[in-house]
Amino acid sequence: MTLDVPNLKSESLDEHHERLRAEAHQEIDDIPVQEATKKTQIIAIYGKGGIGKSFTLANLSCMMAELGKRVLLIGCDPKSDTTSLLFGGKACPTIIETSTKKKLAGEEVKIGDVCFKRNGVFAMELGGPEVGRGCGGRGIIHGFELLEKLGFHDWDFDYVLLDFLGDVVCGGFGLPIARDMAQKVILVASNDLQSLYVANNVCSAVEYFRKLGGNVGVAGLVINKDDGTGEAAAFAETVGIPVLAAIPQDEDLRRKSANYQIVGSAQSQWGDLFTELSINVADAPPVRPSPVNQDGLLSLFDASETGGDFVLEPATDQDMRGKFSKPKASLEVIYDDAV
């Protein structure tokens, strides 16, 4: 499949909407699947937007490279922020935008156009469509199509780390799980209900595709901004996955992350933490999680903080009609008392 770049100026609004609908409903089976020619561990990292996946991955990849491993980091979040910390805040050209520009110019995309390196880590961003002009999941699919053309399966890496937004695990965002493109999944969450909801959602996706014959499992959970309250660790125990590392809620880490500074190095005070994380990520086997329902998630928290003890009160037709409410004639048949 080639990336079709429509002429937006000549496209009517209705035609534009129809194209987007068709694009969103395209099957993902058209992505070529080839067997890898190199022994590479492909790991997909999922987590709620803003939970710290990019921070975790940038430092994890640097520490893995420092330990002598060949690492490729691929950002698969439409925000395209995965490589920003790695490159000191510098945004690198994404595969999607580069492919579009090259196609319009009648040129082919080359490795050097989309892949960049620092501290032994190779990195690239898939990117996403312009706002309102495409589907983010389809953008990821297009990005992987281009990676195939660039020779992805012949590249020589020990680890390929994929950074995925976990809020919605469908279409392109669920690609590594749905198509067995990764051997295992790593979750990033914190001690808050929303990030654990997303982590549980990913576990549900893994379980769903395992039932369909898939092989991807969850290798474990990284607790980011850990304040010691314990909900994330309790979640990991409940769904049956290990905690790979607990990155503390610390002002030094916050400031360095905000300033695009790498702490995943032996020269950093956090070197031991990321060394341990690197080893655990590499060695942890993929397991089949046991996701919980919403009430199960709420039970991990104090009910006074979450409203977990709230009892649902059904609404009535009168409630919905408000000031327009009035008695309705009944069709019920009333019989006189039997003699």
Residues identified as active-site? 48, 53, 79, 167
Take residue 329 and report the two structure tokens written for it. Answer: 């004639």
- Of 4, 63, 21, 19, nearest in space to 272 by CA: 63
Query: Around Cβ 184, how many Cβ atoms within 10 Å?
Result: 21
According to DSSP, the residues that pair with 87 across neighbouring strands are none
Enumerate residues 6+ apart whose C-beta is below 8 A from 123. Answer: 61, 72, 73, 74, 75, 82, 83, 86, 87, 92, 115, 116, 117
Please answer whether residues 47 and 187 qualify as being in contact, where contact means their C-beta atoms are separated by less than 8 angstroms: yes
Distance from CA of residue 298 to its chain's centroid? 22
> Do β-strands 184-189 and 217-226 pair in parallel, antiparallel, or remain unpaired?
parallel
Distances (CA, A) of 40 to 46, 132, 227: 19, 36, 35
